[in-house]
């Protein structure tokens, strides 16, 4: 394993059988985890990594949109994508949202023949371009979890599979947001029907964000996968902070950050890049929280049969730090 801390338990020591995540929910432990995460931000160069992920994400986001629209066009009207994007307009900064919405509008207003072509060769190109952004995020996860990067074919294959999985999640999200109101129409809710339908849409949106973060935390790092309970805290934190940070960044842009006055015609692009940087950093922060929680338990936090420390195939799971 790589760079295990000095507090590590000897490899042969067996994990405590009864130790689970709820037992870790103590103020003293969380304070210790928070301090270690704070130091990890600097030691693991998380801001620098987030900047790199944001750059590759900027290059990947528009091909990703093209891939989603092309696939959705095979089963339904591509024009349905834009109304579903509007449900995220409240938490995506206006400048970034307008740039994304314009791209979606351009793609969905294309002739059916153009979309059909996009679903072929152009879709493959878009998928490969999107993979580069996901691959950058995977390397960021490896840095946070202190794991070696995958090499050769394994790196490309994992990134491609993860990319396809995230695109599939996006398609399910679009379908769910469309189908939910139709189902709710058959439920006799009376005057609260409108509120219930809106609530269901937001629940679906949040669930999709949590599920997407969970997939990244589970399959992104080059290690034996963590159990669901050990990736949930970081996913919840990342999504919650992302919502608050996106809302706050939107207010900053509207009140103080006149990017268009400084950067001219590329002001919206700079705003989108900054938003991607914030999003990438919060994903890495959630991963750091998950990793530190794993380091604070003797229990095997990885999937499969329980194994002793040193034999779990994951640096965080093979390390124990006494509080």
Q: What is the pLDDT of residues 75-90, one digit of tens each?
A: 777 777 777 777 677 6
Q: What string of H, E and C letters represents the secondary structure of 13-27?
A: CCCCCCCCHHHHCCH
pLDDT value for 315: 94
pLDDT value for 279: 93
pLDDT value for 312: 94
Q: pLDDT tens, 18-60?
A: 344 455 457 788 888 999 999 999 999 999 999 999 999 888 8
Q: Collapsing DSSP states into helix, strand and coil, what is residue 267?
A: helix
Distance CA 72, CA 19 (A): 45
Rounded to two decimals, what is the model's pTM?
Answer: 0.82
Distance CA 171, CA 178 (A): 11
Q: Collapsing DSSP states into helix, strand and coil, what is residue 302?
A: strand
pLDDT value for 4: 44
Q: Which two tokens stand for residue 140?
A: 């960021």
Distance CA 162, CA 17 (A): 32
Q: Which two tokens stand for residue 285?
A: 């922060």
Sequence-distant (≥ 6) Cβ neighbours of residue 29 within 8 angstroms:
296, 323
Bigger pLDDT: 264 vs 53: 53
Bigger pLDDT: 319 vs 193: 319
Bigger pLDDT: 127 vs 311: 311
Centroid of chain to Cα 210: 8
Mean pLDDT across 252-269: 76
Would the pLDDT of 14 be above 60?
no
**Most confident by average pLDDT, 20-34, 58-72, 99-113, 306-320:** 306-320
């Amino acid at each position: 394993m790589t760079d295990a801390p000095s507090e590590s338990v000897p490899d042969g020591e067996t994990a405590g059988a009864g130790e689970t995540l709820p037992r870790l929910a103590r103020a003293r432990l969380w304070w210790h985890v928070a301090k270690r995460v704070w130091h990890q931000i600097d030691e693991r160069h998380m801001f620098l990594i987030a900047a790199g992920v944001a750059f590759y994400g900027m290059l990947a986001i528009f091909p990703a949109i093209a891939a989603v629209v092309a696939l959705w066009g095979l089963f339904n009207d591509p024009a349905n994508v834009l109304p579903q994007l509007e449900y995220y307009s409240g938490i995506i900064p206006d400048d970034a949202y307008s740039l994304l919405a314009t791209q979606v509008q351009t793609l969905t207003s294309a002739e059916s023949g153009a979309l059909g072509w996009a679903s072929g060769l152009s879709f493959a190109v878009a998928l490969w371009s999107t993979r580069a952004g996901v691959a950058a995020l995977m390397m960021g996860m490896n840095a946070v979890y202190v794991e070696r990067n995958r090499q050769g074919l394994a790196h490309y294959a994992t990134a491609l599979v993860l990319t396809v999985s995230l695109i599939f999640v996006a398609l399910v999200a679009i379908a769910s947001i469309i189908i939910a109101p139709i189902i709710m129409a058959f439920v006799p809710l009376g005057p609260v029907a409108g509120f219930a339908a809106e609530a269901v849409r937001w629940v679906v949106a949040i669930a999709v964000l949590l599920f997407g973060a969970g997939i990244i935390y589970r399959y992104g790092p080059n290690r034996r996968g963590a159990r669901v309970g050990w990736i949930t805290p970081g996913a919840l934190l990342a999504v919650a902070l992302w919502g608050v940070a996106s809302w706050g960044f939107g207010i900053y842009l509207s009140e103080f950050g006149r990017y268009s006055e400084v950067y001219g015609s590329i002001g919206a692009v700079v705003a989108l890049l900054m938003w991607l940087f914030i999003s990438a950093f919060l994903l890495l922060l959630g991963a750091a929280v998950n990793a530190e929680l794993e380091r604070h338990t003797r229990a095997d936090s990885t999937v499969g049969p329980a194994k002793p420390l040193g034999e779990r195939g994951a640096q965080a799971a093979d390390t124990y730090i006494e509080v």
